[in-house]
Amino acid sequence: MIADTGRGFGRSFAVLMVSAFVAIFAALPLGYAAAQDATPVASPEAASALAASGLPEITVTAKETIFSPKVPGAMLEGWYLITLVNDTDAVSSANLVMLPEGQTVGALTSLVSTAFQGEGGELPEWWTSATFAGGNVAAAGETTQTLAYLTPGKWAIFSSNPAAVQSPSVFTILTPEEAEANYGIAPATPTASPVAAGAPAPAGVTAGSTIDVNDTAITPAGAPPAAGEVVAEVTNSGEQVHELILVKTDQQVDDAGAAALATSYAKGEALTGATVVGVLGTLGPGQTAYFATTLEPGTYVFFSSLPDANGGLQSDAGLVLAFSIE
């Protein structure tokens, strides 16, 4: 949320910028982002195996102080390809959240500026009532892709990384009634509620690995990852909101070293001898999302740097996992 260099000045400047942009977004109609009807296409060098699914795409460009989303016109419930283009010199995290009734992006910004500074912090009651669908993490100048299942309502894109502050941006997923009334789109055949029965698997997407994240562990299933492109399905089976940051390091690390990397990231510090690869933003309990990334030989660390409900950071509670690619 503050630039990695010039932290004191950056923090003060960021607070002013966030306040200004929150005021602007609060005055916009719910469908503001949806009014941007361009249908973006990922550049060939950025496209992942997820792009072959043919799912509608939401492209989010991270600029120094804002997220600039482009969405495919009127959007209904379903799976979306989320492309994050990081046009800054710091790691960007573009998380997807639908706030509960009565909460605003201003409240979200205030929370992030206090509880997401690397030491943990108390989370409000409404945090557990919000819907977190994932999102993306991308290193400076990089592009990443994930899949997220979005349900009707007003969604916000927000940063949880104290190394980069972008004011939240909003877009709307329409109900069938809104789609028919406003766009003449006939209601589709009803499907099972993703909350009650789990979201249907995205058509045309095959995950080569699955990862379970709960409140105390990150647990991959199946064969160990190999070099090359990986498409992974991630499910949060815990009771807290989690993220999944992937870092490549040039040295072997034990559990303590992996946790130290997570703490540095959570504080917005530059990672010595390590590079952020991606991969997945905030994911709520019971939610599933997908990410694609390319792994090269070396040592990697998965972690969640979010505040833990019991105090401190989730990485301190066991949400770290180091592994190597031959």
pLDDT, tens digit, 9 for 90 and up, residues 233-268: 999 999 999 999 999 998 888 888 999 999 999 999
CB atoms near residue 71 (< 10 Å): 24
Q: Which of 54, 65, 138, 53 is nearest to 95 (CA)?
A: 138
Number of H helices, E strands in the chain: 5, 16
Q: Is the pLDDT of residue 218 over 80?
A: yes
Average pLDDT over residues 129-151: 96
Rounded CA-CA distance 185/176 in Å is 8
Instruction: Give residue 113's pLDDT.
Output: 87
CB atoms near residue 161 (< 10 Å): 28
Report percent pLDDT > 70 for the chain.
Answer: 82
- Written as one letter, the residue type at 156 is A
Do residues 278 and 291 touch, judged by C-beta distance below 8 A?
Answer: yes
3-state class of 38 per DSSP?
A: coil
Q: Has domain 7-183 been given CATH number 2.30.30? A: no
C-alpha distance across the termini of the chain, in Å? 35
Structure tokens at 43: 């550049």
Q: Where are the beta strands (DSSP E) in 76-129?
A: 78-86, 92-98
Do residues 293 and 279 touch, judged by C-beta distance below 8 A?
Answer: yes
Residue 269 CA to its chain's centroid (Å): 19
Bond from prior residue into 279 cis (ω within 30 degrees of 0): yes
Q: Is the pLDDT of residue 318 over 60?
A: yes
Instruction: Give residue 132's pLDDT.
Output: 98
- Taking phi first (over 0 means left), then psi (-120 to 50 degrees means alpha), and beta for anything else, what does residue 96 get? beta
Rounded CA-CA distance 235/222 in Å is 14
174 vs 198, more confident: 174
- Written as one letter, the residue type at 129 is S
Do residues 81 and 57 touch, judged by C-beta distance below 8 A?
Answer: yes
Instruction: Give residue 84's pLDDT.
Output: 98
* Mean pLDDT lowest among 22-31, 71-80, 124-133: 22-31
Structure tokens at 301: 């660390």
Q: Where in the chain is the domain with CATH 2.60.40.420?
A: 206-325
- What's the Cα-to-Cα distance from 299 to each of 140, 142, 182, 234, 277, rounded to whole Å? 20, 20, 51, 20, 12
Do residues 61 and 40 touch, judged by C-beta distance below 8 A?
Answer: no
- What's the Cα-to-Cα distance from 127 to each of 53, 100, 186, rounded to whole Å? 32, 8, 34
Provide CB contacts within 8 A for 185, sequence distance 6+. Answer: 74, 76, 176, 179
5 vs 159, more confident: 159
pLDDT tens per residue, range 123-138: 999 999 999 999 999 9
Q: Is the pLDDT of residue 225 over 50?
A: yes
Q: Is the pLDDT of residue 302 over 80?
A: yes
CB-neighbour burial class of residue 100 (10 A; exposed 0-12, middle 13-18, buried 19+): middle
Class of domain 206-325: mainly beta
